[in-house]
Amino acid sequence: MPHAGRSRRADAPDRSPDWREVQAARLAAGLGIDAAARAVFNTTAAWERWEADPARDTAARRMPAAAWWLFRLRTGQAQLADLPPITAAE
């Protein structure tokens, strides 16, 4: 069961990215793991867990959607206009 508030739909704006997407975005930005982690105000260890293949590493974790958006915004891989609007219910 997904975490409350997180969707598993590939096109959902609040979804956590797959480890392959995290790695591809970092490489596209031309950043090492240390710099990528600093870009989202997190630790190198956390970033390494986000890029870990869960089939091979029990420490693997999904990157939070907020960190995913922040990284993509800071590296020019997403624009503010790409964010979904905030509705009154949220």
Give residue 53's pLDDT. Answer: 96
Query: Is pLDDT of 84 > 90?
Result: no
Query: Is pLDDT of 6 > 80?
Result: no
Residue 62: count other Cβ atoms within 10 Å of its Cβ. Answer: 19
* Mean pLDDT score of the chain: 89
Contact 46, 34 (CB under 8 A): no
User: pLDDT digits over 12-47, tens only?
Assistant: 778 899 999 999 999 999 999 999 999 999 999 999
Query: Is pLDDT of 65 > 50?
Result: yes
Report domain extents, the chain: 22-80
pTM of the model: 0.83
**3-state secondary structure labels for all residues of 35-72:** HHHHHCCCCHHHHHHHCCCCCCCCCCCCCCHHHHHHHH
